Each structure stands twice: as C-alpha cells, then as structure tokens.
Structure 1
Amino acid sequence: MKLNQDNIPKMGFGTYDRKGEAGISAILVALETGYRHLDTAQDYGTEKEVGQAVQRSGLDRDDVFLTTKIANGSLGKGALIPSLRESLDNLQIDQLDLTLIHWPSPNNAIALPVYIEQLAEAHAMGLTRMVGVSNFTIALLKEAQTILGDLPIANNQFELNPLMQNKNLASYCKNTGISVTCYLPIARGILGDVPAIAEIAARHDATPEQVALAFEFAKGYIAIPTSSKAERICSNFLATKLTLSEQDISAIETVDRGQRVIDPEWGPDWD
C-alpha cells in the first residue's frame, strides 16, 4: 500500500517511558488490542523496545506503522542520516514509515535548512517513506516546506487535547494538507475534572479519555496516547468505536484553555 498522510492509522500508541521488559509488554498489549501505529523517538530510548515488540508480535512489518523522531543532538551537518540508520537498527527494520524532526533546533543554533535538507536526503535514500516535523509553528512549517519543495510535509506532531486545542496551528495544517498528530491527547488524565467532558462521558457510558480521543478523531487528527496498564491501553482503544454528536463536539470546543504542558524555555515562539 502506498502510504501518505491520509492513511496513517489514526489511533497510535505512544512509547515514551515504555522501557525494558515492562515496556515491551505494554507495546505488545497495544498490538494485541489492535493498535497498528507505534510512535517512538531517539530521545525516548524506546526504539529497541518497539522493535522487539513488533518482532514478538508475529505481525508482518507492513501491518505496523512506525514513526520515530530525530533528536536535537542529531540535527547538525552530517549527523541526521547516521542517527536514522541507528534508529533503523534499533527498530530492526529497513525503512521508517514516518520520520519527524522532534523539535526545531533550540534557539536556532542550527539553521533550519541544515537539518531539513538532511531529512529530504534520508527520504531520497529510502530510509523513510514520509517526512514530517514535530513542535513546528506555522512560520517554521512554511519555511520547511519551501526548503523541501515537492516533497510534502506529511505530518506535524504537537500538543493537542481538549484543554489545548491549538486551533490556529491545527487549521493551518488541515488547510495545507499536513496531517496532525496529537501528543498528550488525553491531557494526562485530568479531563474528568472538566464538567462538559464528564457530562458527555457519562451520557455515552465512556471515559473522559475516550471522549477526548473521539473528539480528536472527529477532527481528523491522529492521537498517540500511552499507558503502562493493560486496562487503560484497551480502554483508550475503545475510543475508535465512540461517535460524538455535533453538539458534543461543539461543547468540547468551548473548554479550550490554551493549557500548554510541554513548554521548554528553548522551544519555538508558539502560535
């Protein structure tokens, strides 16, 4: 199947902190439950666990969509492709489905063209089927797309959940054909304290987390929740079966607080 941003599995499993044998077990539960998209990163230190879990699962390589993200320390001239080859070795695969720049270079210490051009080179070499970015603002997306030319930015991964809806950035991505992946999609489990979400969850006999994920899927986004607990992994996956009404979606849109959690001092000037 030819992969593009329209067929990235909407329900992904994040692998941050899924380390060691316990991490492999959690990833295996996700795969057994039906997740077919695993998200990792060089900085997570979980690429080996992801690779081992996929091997143990017995699933064919083509059945699992794999994303990794390039660390800040691998953005310099000549560094990205060797780091990506190491990621491929860790994952025990020949090609990533999607490779993202994890963060724009802190304080622009490395000029954007230096690492975006290497990302394009990695694609040309067949190391990754698609390329994208993470934590990129509208201005950075425009600059990166100019550098990439005809090679599309397939995805932008950034913090998005009912309390941090990032509407301007999400709208820009949607209007320019860039798929959106939501990290922290269930806002670290605090959504039950939001009355509108709690009410919708009760009415649908669902969890607040399922409501958040269903909202994101209704918007056309990809989401990558994670957990170490089998019951939570399975519960989150049930969001794929939950259909919210237009009234539900409108109600959730009103709870946006712009409540950003991931905000390093060296991060970009957010939209």
Structure 2
Amino acid sequence: MSNATFPNPGLGTFRLNGDTLKQSIKEALSLGYRHIDTAQFYDNESTVGQAIAESDVPREEIFLTTKIWHDQLQPDAFKAAVNESLRKLGTDYVDLLLIHWPSPEDEVPMVDYLNALSEAKASGKARHIGVSNFTTAQIDRAIDILGEGELFTNQIEVHPFLQNTVLIDHCQRQGIRVTGYMPLAVGKVMEDDTLKAIADSHEVSPAQITLAWLKARDITVIPSSTKAEHLKSNLEAFELELTADEMAQIGRLDRAERIANPDFAPNWDE
C-alpha cells in the first residue's frame, strides 16, 4: 500500500455546480479541507478547477479525485476522457483517478480498461488509481489484472443503513482503502432515533456521530455541503470518539438500504 496521504474527510461535489459549488470549495479549503472529489458524470470539473485555481491553497497541497464514466471505458475513449478531465480541471494530473462503475455486463473487458487506467498512472496523469462500485469478486479480478498494491481505493456507498461490511473487510484485508460516498444517507441519519440518542449524549448532531463511526471503521468519507457550518461540523466530527457500545448500537442499524442502485449496477455483495 502506498504511504500517500488521503485527507479525511474530503469534499464531495455530486449535484453541485456553478457559484454554489465554487463557494463550497473555497469555504472548505479555507477551513482546512485538502481533498476534493469530482467526476466526469457530475458535469462540474471545470468549476472545480476554477475554484482550485482561484483559492489561496497551492494545487500540490490538494488531493484531487475524478472518475471516468462507464461509457468511456474503451481504451482509446478512456485516454481521451482522461485528457478532457485534466483540461477541464486545469491541471496536469489528478491525485486519484477512478473507474466510476465497472463496465455493465462486461461490455468492455476489465483487462482493457484497467490497463488503460494503469497507463494513465504510468504517464503521470494520475498519481494513484482505483475503482468505484466494485464488488468483492470484481476487486479480486482487478487485483489479478493489476497486481497487489496498485488499487488505492474502492469508492462505495456506505452509511449506517448500508454498512457493506463484507466488501469493506475484503478491501481492507487487501490493503485497499475504502472511500464512503453518501455517508449521511442523503440526510436520513438525522431522523434515526438511535443516532439522535447517541448524538444527544455527546451534544453533537447525528451527522457528526455517523462520520465519527465511519472514521472508526477506517473509511475516508466525502460528504458534500454548501453550508459553512456543516463543512465545519463535518471536520469537528473527526475529533469524536465513540464507545464500543455506541459502535455496536450503530452496527445494528444495517438494513441493506442501497440508495445508488442504477440499472447498470453490478450484482452487489450480500
């Protein structure tokens, strides 16, 4: 496993754009965030690039992630897509380049697009490479193709209601970091009685309890927010320590509730 830093938490940018996104990035950077996550599919790479360029934080201090969409996985298309992302982001490299979703029905052979991903790293266009929404079986195939230690992360949906324990344990045993998206279950954590009770005992919010629980599981999270107070409270969540009993209470909230489940998704792990 690489010793590169992977700032936690990061700032997710899904469904954000324009001046709202730009202000969110600038506010996050001013608060101390150093990890920004975007994707071609979000259609906001240009705005992300502008916000970084206009900030006072040097590019080399920011861990920048983008992802290639599943319709660009043919090797020639993949190479062009990487170049387009770099142009939009206004940078010569990204810190992390991900396959956003595995090719539906293996339309593009995994060996083809993972080798293209590896070539992006070899050329210096990506410092680290990884995947998103890969199952345990797909992770194993990817390791067979690329070798051990090449995959930096698997970015997956994880929150108290979809704990993804089998996949997370599998990745971590292989030395692959886990990045959790939708960590707050699109706000549903705020309504859960267990999380509210634990939050009350710490005098914090259920969102902060959730982020502290994910940190305790050694998961890097990328919540998005447009409000300065939420950006700040997300950072403060990482100072919380939960008891073993609190961790166990949250562990019992799993109900396999998957929010991101498009029709081209792989056959998920149970």
Q: Normalised by the size of structure 2, how large is the TM-score?
A: 0.96
Match of 1:174 among 172, 175, 188: 172
Partner in structure 2 of residue 225 of structure 1 = 223
Tell whether the 8 Å contact from 2:13 to 2:37 is kept in structure 1 after alignment.
yes
Whole-angstrom CA distance in 1 between matches of 2:184 and 2:209: 9
How far has the Cα of 1:6 moved from its partner?
Answer: 5.8
Match of 2:266 among 258, 265, 268: 268
Whole-angstrom CA distance in 2 between matches of 1:253 and 1:180: 17
Partner in structure 2 of residue 56 of structure 1 = 54
Partner in structure 2 of residue 38 of structure 1 = 36
Whole-angstrom CA distance in 2 between matches of 1:142 and 1:229: 39
Q: Quick one: which amino acid aligns to residue 37 of structure 1?
A: H
How far has the Cα of 1:85 moved from its partner?
Answer: 1.2
Tell whether the 8 Å contact from 1:17 to 1:23 is kept in structure 2 after alignment.
no
Partner in structure 2 of residue 243 of structure 1 = 241
Tell whether the 8 Å contact from 1:5 to 1:154 is kept in structure 2 after alignment.
no
Q: Please list, as runs of the form range in 1=range in 2, the aligned pairs for 1:129-144 lying within 5 A after superposition.
A: 129-144=127-142
Whole-angstrom CA distance in 1 between matches of 2:250 and 2:209: 9
Equivalent residue of 1:78, what SS?
helix
Whole-angstrom CA distance in 2 between matches of 1:236 and 1:149: 35
How far has the Cα of 1:5 moved from its partner?
Answer: 6.3
Whole-angstrom CA distance in 2 between matches of 1:190 and 1:48: 31
Post-superposition Cα deviations, 1:149-171, rounded to whole Å, max 9, x if no partner, equal 25511100000011110000000
How far has the Cα of 1:249 moved from its partner?
Answer: 1.1
Post-superposition Cα deviations, 1:174-230, rounded to whole Å, max 9, x if no partner, equal 111000000000111111322211111001111111111111011110000002222
Question: What is the aligned-residue RMSD (CA, Å)?
Answer: 1.4
Q: 1:212 to 1:5 in 2, by over 3 A?
A: farther
Partner in structure 2 of residue 103 of structure 1 = 101
Q: 1:6 to 1:210 in 2, by over 3 A?
A: farther
Overall identity of the aligned pairs, in %: 40
Tell whether the 8 Å contact from 1:5 to 1:178 is kept in structure 2 after alignment.
no
Q: Normalised by the size of structure 1, how large is the TM-score?
A: 0.95
Post-superposition Cα deviations, 1:92-144, rounded to whole Å, max 9, x if no partner, equal 11111110000001222111111111001111111101110000001111111
After the TM superposition, which parts of structure 1 deviate over 6 Å for at least 4 consecutive aligned residues? Answer: none
Tell whether the 8 Å contact from 1:137 to 1:269 is kept in structure 2 after alignment.
yes
Whole-angstrom CA distance in 1 between matches of 2:188 and 2:15: 19
Whole-angstrom CA distance in 2 between matches of 1:222 and 1:211: 15
Tell whether the 8 Å contact from 2:9 to 2:234 is kept in structure 1 after alignment.
no
Tell whether the 8 Å contact from 2:149 to 2:175 is kept in structure 1 after alignment.
no
Partner in structure 2 of residue 183 of structure 1 = 181
Tell whether the 8 Å contact from 2:195 to 2:250 is kept in structure 1 after alignment.
yes
Equivalent residue of 2:36, what SS?
strand
Q: Which runs of 5+ in 2 are unaligned?
A: none
Q: Which moved more, 1:136-145 or 1:188-197?
A: 188-197
Whole-angstrom CA distance in 1 between matches of 2:149 and 2:198: 41
Tell whether the 8 Å contact from 1:216 to 1:223 is kept in structure 2 after alignment.
yes
How far has the Cα of 1:57 moved from its partner?
Answer: 1.2
